[in-house]
């Protein structure tokens, strides 16, 4: 039996206490090309926990808009677990590296992730076809 008092992963200590919330919000790409409805479930001075559909693709950085609190701030994706994401506000945590070599490295990482996701999709489609008798 698992000991419920011992966490399975060590989490970093929070810089600010979180408050429970249920706030309607939007995640907006920095180029304003896409906005995504979401809900903020916890919020602090330095970040938030947000519910968003699992199939939504998010960039590393975006703008979080919370109309009820009159908040529009840049946010950085810290962690994603199914329909829950954690974000850090502002840019002080990790400045965005925009040098050509850093961008090339980021592209290589994203291309590798894309190949892996395509292979996973293909495998799942094959399993679905076998299960439905269409193979």
Render pLDDT for 84-127 as a digit per residue (tens, 0 to 9): 999 999 854 344 456 788 778 778 777 877 888 888 899 989 99
CA-CA distance, 101 to 12, in Å (whole number)? 29
Residue 83 pLDDT class (50, 70, 90 cuts): very high
Q: What's the angle, vertex CA 17, arms to CA 59 and CA 2, rounded to 5?
A: 85
Q: Rounded to a whole number, what is the distance in angstroms from the first to the last CA of the chain?
A: 42
Q: If phi over 0 gives left and psi between -120 and 50 gives alpha, with beta otherwise, what is residue 131?
A: alpha
The answer to whether 28 touches 34, Cβ cutoff 8 Å, is: yes
- pLDDT tens figures, 33-81: 999 999 999 998 889 999 999 888 899 999 999 998 888 899 999 999 9
| Contact assessment for residue 77 and residue 87, using Cβ atoms and an 8 Å cutoff | yes
């Amino acid at each position: 039996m698992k000991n419920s008092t011992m966490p399975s992963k060590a989490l970093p200590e929070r810089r600010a206490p979180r408050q429970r919330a249920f706030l309607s919000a939007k995640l907006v790409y920095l180029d304003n090309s896409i906005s995504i409805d979401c809900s903020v479930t916890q919020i602090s001075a330095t970040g938030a926990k947000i519910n968003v559909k699992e199939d939504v693709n998010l960039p590393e950085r975006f703008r979080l808009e919370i109309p009820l609190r009159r908040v529009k701030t840049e946010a950085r994706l810290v962690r994603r677990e199914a329909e829950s994401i954690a974000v850090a506000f502002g840019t002080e945590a990790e400045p965005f590296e925009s040098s050509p070599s850093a961008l090339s490295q980021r592209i290589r990482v994203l291309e590798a992730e894309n190949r892996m996701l395509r292979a996973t999709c293909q495998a799942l489609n094959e399993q679905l076809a076998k299960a439905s008798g269409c193979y």
